[in-house]
Chains A and B, each alone.
Chain A
Amino acid sequence: MKSLFQSLRWRIQAWHALLLFLVIGASMLPALHFAHESMQRRLEDEVQRLGRNLMRSLSRELRTAAGEEDRGPMVPSEFVRRLLASPIALPADLADSFQGDEPGHAYASFRNAEGETVFQTANAPAGLAFLPVHEKEYQGETRFVGHRCEQASSFPEGLAVVVGRDISPDIDRMRTMAGIYAGIGLAVWLLGLLGGWWLSGRAIRPIRTISETAGRIAEGNTDERIDPRAMDAELARLSDVLNETFDRLGAAFERQRQFTADASHELRTPIAILLSETQRLLKRERSPEEYREGLAVCSETAQRMRRLTESLLILARQEDSAPTESGSLCDLAEVVEGALEPLRAMAEKRGRRLEARLSPALCRGEAGALGVLVSNLVGNALEYGGDTLVVCGTTEGEVRVSVLDDGPGVPEPDLPHIFERFYRADPARSGDSGHSGLGLAIARAIAENHGGVLHASNRPEGGARFELHLPRAGA
């Protein structure tokens, strides 16, 4: 089991989660920021209004105390002069909001230039920061200090004022809102994750199908294939490629299986002979003649097995190696000449004529393998045919070797099969110790390995004709 980070689905999910988080964050934060800003602005306005109301109320109070008529707010200079002259109490209409420590309470504190408190509500917090009194001009600022929003101002007439408000309800509201925002963001994020999980699952489901199919093939169910119709375009390509690969592997596997089956099948009979003959001989005492006969049979059988395994090895090498297009340059006429040499004795023994008409034929290939090919063809012709003629030459871009005999030819029904492994055209000869039934299969494998073709046909005038066509060197 691989770790989660090696899982495509989990990696997609992790990236998706990160991106989604950033997107949600990026959309929520400015909104939250804007809400915070506007809250501050509102609070500043409120505190300023609070200050103005207090001034107005105090002016009214001052006038009332002086027995004057209320004529609206005083100009600041007069307000300051009067306030400093006669200290007053908090007007009744403001008493409600300027007292207590309830959340949202307001407070105010006035000092003269010397720093002495001239007016202060009971709930004013300790350690308020006053602006210094400037000689010429009015100064003011609105600020946030902890859970308070306050306006500090100073008048050149020698008064410093701080009017403020406890803003913890607003901060609570802000926090609640931020909490709601975070909750909504989290919910959206989780929903997105779920959707992403579902989506990535859907996206990799075909991959799982492919891997399951491949798994079943690996388990030995070699006929199974991926259904590309069930795939999206991108994966259908992959499925096609995989299916082609499976086909090729299956064919190679089947060839290998067939080869092993053929080989073991062909070896079974000689082994059965060895077993049967040796067991029979060992069962009781026998005359020297009987032993000699039995040993001769065993020896012949062993030779047959040796030839068979050699042929099988040649065939296996031919089928395993890649086509030799870049083989060394060789003259097919020389190859034929070399292959015919050892066969002349055989021709003579059988009383058959072996004639060769050779003209130079350059091709690329492995001289040794081509020699085996020619030798197999001519050997067959001498054995099953009769007088044999070998022609070698160059025609129209290819080199050609023909092996013609004047024997009975190949029976028509057998013609399509004679290149198959272990196919024997003449059943009467089956099992004859001389032949493995692989000669022509080997010849064809060599021809194909050299990019050529090998044909068999019967000549109209009687006898068989085997023709080898190979590409000409440099053509």
Chain B
Amino acid sequence: MRILLVEDDPHLRRSLAATLREENYAVDVAEDGEEGLSKALDYGYDAIVLDGMLPRLDGWEVLKRLRPGTATPVLMLTARDTVRDRVRGLDGGADDYLTKPFDGEELLARLRALIRRAAGQTRSRIEIGPLVLDTASRTVTVAGREVSVTAREYGLLEYLVLHRGRVVTRTTLYDHLFDEEDRSLSNLLDVHVSNLRKKLGIELIETRRGHGYIVP
């Protein structure tokens, strides 16, 4: 999953980015509204964490320009906590709202929920036959037995499962699994897919030659 973090405070930006990366999200950062907007329009992020008070363009303005063209889920993150500000953010197209100071775990849970809902899933446990993917604990079990997968493999599997029944191109996978600092590892995609097949069974991920992959 690839996330855009737009936050002007350098310490908070660094800390949040580190937190998200440790949860195996691919994270791009932007330090003001303009940079955030252009990045948000450039890539298909799985979610955007958007600070409200930003230099150049504030968060609400970024939202206004982002909607309705881009449907990426947006989590507003701001120090303003009046009901009016929240309503303004949500009506402006934000999908969720979190006021500073917030709890790291809550931010992660809300992000997971946003991404899940955007993919059309309503629960954090996704079952495909004997395979169960728990997006909250980031674990994979097959017939009740936990299968150990690496963070990369988990990310790949989660993306394909969340977009189950749709062909996901390699480019899309590159875009969503690796952030801008992480391009060098892109050629390992095939390795991850073949590892997953070994662990979970050949039939789980099908290859559509020339198009990409699909979890049927």
Contacts and interface: CB of A to CB of B under 8 A. Distances in A.
A137 to B, nearest CB: 112
Interface of B: 8-12, 14-16, 18-19, 22, 32, 55-56, 79-80, 99-105
Contacts of A283: 22
* Most central of B11, B12, B18, B80 by chain A CB within 10 Å: B11
Interface string A282-313: 01100000000000010011000000000000
Nearest to B102: A272
B15 A430 contact: no
B51 to A, nearest CB: 9
Q: Is the interface of A mostly helix, strand, loop or mixed?
A: helix
B103 to A, nearest CB: 7
A431 B100 CA distance: 14
Given A273-B15, A280-B15, A280-B19, A431 B104 contact: no
Contacts of B18: 280
B32 A275 contact: no
B101 A279 contact: no
A275 B11 contact: no
A279 B99 contact: no
Nearest to A422: B53
Interface in A403-457: 427-428, 430-433
16 contacts: A265-B80, A268-B100, A272-B102, A275-B104, A276-B12, A276-B16, A276-B104, A277-B15, A279-B19, A279-B103, A280-B15, A283-B22, A284-B22, A427-B55, A430-B9, A432-B10
A284 B9 CA distance: 25
A428 B79 CA distance: 18
Contacts of A427: 8, 32, 55-56
A191 interface: no
- Among A273, A276, A430, A433, chain B packs the most CB atoms within 10 A around the CB of A276
Contact of B100 (A269, A279, A301, A433): A269
A268 B79 contact: yes
The 8 closest A-B pairs by CB, nearest first: A427-B55, A431-B9, A271-B101, A268-B79, A268-B100, A279-B104, A272-B101, A272-B100
A284 B16 CA distance: 16
Contacts of A297: 11, 14-15
Contacts of B104: 275-276, 279-280
Contact of B101 (A268, A432, A433): A268
Interface in A249-279: 264-266, 268-269, 271-277, 279
Interface core residue of B8, B80, B101 (most chain A CB under 10 Å): B101
B79 A265 contact: yes
A275 B103 contact: yes
A275 B98 CA distance: 14
Given A268-B79, A271-B100, A274-B101, 11 more contacts: A268-B99, A268-B101, A269-B79, A272-B100, A272-B101, A273-B12, A275-B103, A279-B105, A280-B15, A280-B22, A428-B55
Contacts of B8: 427, 430-431
Nearest to B16: A276
